Chains A and B, each alone.
Chain A
């Protein structure tokens, strides 16, 4: 066998090894990280909110998750992704407010505290509120 053939065979064997290594790593990675930020379930979680809030709204956003944490970012980005083209903004200044809580809370008091009324409670920590003066 001359060097030309040997080179081709060596390259093919090495690359097959590389592809198998990649396939093995990819399988492990995907088994370990199946939708790690739960994006798929956000569609169902926010479907009701999507129906109520106008598409051109900029929506305030409140959550009980720790600000700056990966959980906070994942929940915020997941909600933003599903609700686009509505834009989410941290805080409670806009006419519309999306509440995205992980735990049960006194949402009536929360609405009162920020000057909103509950428009709809979806019973899973997701509520849509609206400024009390808005119609």
Chain B
């Protein structure tokens, strides 16, 4: 039952992406991948936020499912009456080597997840001590949602945003059981979603070969893969980052804004991301700023209410004076963790480098590619600043968080790298 509820949320999002996403260019398979990729985040984001708002503010247990049912019915009607056949599919020769390779790599990676799902269905430390703990609290039927950000939970960051916990709590509350399949599937869907939206967007904006190259390399990124069964909020955040950047680069600013807004309610880093994306849009595509901000507004407003009203002061500030004596340690950790994104002698930049050498760089796409890369680098720079000023032990902070910070920005950085390549499907400049 819990699994079905997660799938229903994703389907609601897919219906919204299909009807309103404007995915009407590019090959048919790319449109569907973009719809599924965007739909996963939209559906989880929408149902998670609705569940959070209902549990927090509405003293009526059925408020959230009624809103979901009404929206699902409306979307079904909109899809039914949607005009069809208006935009002919672009012809695109599928690069079977890359597409089948990507599917094989995804299959291998998913098979590897099964060990973790079997042996550690509860996820890793932060899953049961932060994200799923708060999901259990908000899922409780006794109207105790506000306990999820109680100062009594001071040891487990009660001020962290609530999207992931709310969505998992929704599945548990509606199913009436704490089924571990709910957080497992949620994390996996975000992983699948970031591949789908990246492949779909690259196929729409560039070419099929580059699109599948992105999917291939992302599905073979060991550090990122390791975080999928951990059930932390870093994979959802990585999804929202790359989804926002991909939608920004295919000129879907409202969707980009929605994803950036949802990032703010996923982890604290999402707030910085929204600012970085807004600045990037102001610098590169000023006309998109209002639609972007309009898209971001609903979820960002919920985040603001949560952080500034509901959870205000529940957690002491972790910022202090600059740890200037530790700059060398931080830089060293940044470089060693970058190398550790791989496994054994393998690093996910190796296939990118091979493609850059054999396919070349296409300078026509420097601007969008550098925009994506710039956003990823800006986020890493912000994380550097946060670690520099942290009151916590710097070595502990680096040891426990830095890999996951890289994981958050890696799909976005990879998207930028692949965007910059010369496509073998396109005529050279």
Contact = CB atoms under 8 A, between A and B. Distances in A.
B142 A11 contact: no
A32 to B, nearest CB: 10
B85 to A, nearest CB: 33
Contacts of B108: 16, 19-20, 22-23
Interface residues of A, number: 47
Interface stretch (A77-85, A112-120, A124-132): A77-85
Given A12-B98, A22-B343, A87 B216 contact: no
B152 interface: yes
A22 B225 contact: yes
Contact of A81 (B129, B225, B226): B129
Nearest to A80: B133
Given A16-B104, A85-B140, A10 B358 contact: yes
Interface string B152-176: 1101100000000000000000000
Contact of A15 (B111, B153, B216, B344): B216
A39 B222 contact: no
Given A21-B222, A35-B120, A87 B359 contact: no
Contacts, number: 174
Nearest to A2: B424
B216 to A, nearest CB: 5
| Chain A interface, >50% SS class | helix
Contacts of A80: 129, 133, 156
Contacts of A40: 121-122
B97 interface: yes
Contact of B359 (A3, A25, A26, A84): A3
A58 interface: yes
Interface in A1-39: 3-12, 14-27, 29-31, 33-35, 37, 39
Contacts of B355: 7, 10-11
Nearest to B134: A84
Nearest to A5: B97
Interface in A32-58: 33-35, 37, 39-40, 55-56, 58
- Most B CB within 10 A of own CB, among A27, A33, A80, A89: A80
Nearest to B360: A3
Nearest to B135: A84
Nearest to B180: A40
Contact of B119 (A30, A58, A73): A30
A20 B222 CA distance: 10
Contact of B101 (A3, A16, A85): A16
A55 B118 CA distance: 30
B331 interface: no
B150 interface: yes
Given A19-B108, A39-B128, A81-B133, A4 B424 contact: yes
A26 B342 contact: no
B203 interface: no
Given A15-B351, A35-B119, A22 B109 contact: yes
From A5, A18, A34, A89, residue with most partner B Cβ within 10 Å: A18
B424 A87 contact: no
Nearest to B123: A39
Interface in B110-135: 111-113, 115-116, 118-122, 125, 128-129, 132-133
Given A56-B144, A77-B155, 16 more contacts: A4-B358, A5-B97, A8-B95, A11-B213, A15-B219, A18-B221, A18-B343, A19-B104, A19-B112, A22-B343, A23-B112, A26-B225, A29-B116, A34-B119, A73-B129, A77-B129
30 contacts: A4-B209, A5-B97, A6-B358, A7-B358, A8-B97, A9-B97, A11-B98, A11-B354, A14-B350, A15-B101, A15-B105, A18-B220, A18-B221, A18-B348, A19-B105, A19-B109, A21-B346, A22-B108, A22-B112, A22-B220, A25-B344, A26-B225, A30-B119, A35-B120, A37-B128, A39-B122, A56-B144, A77-B156, A81-B133, A84-B136
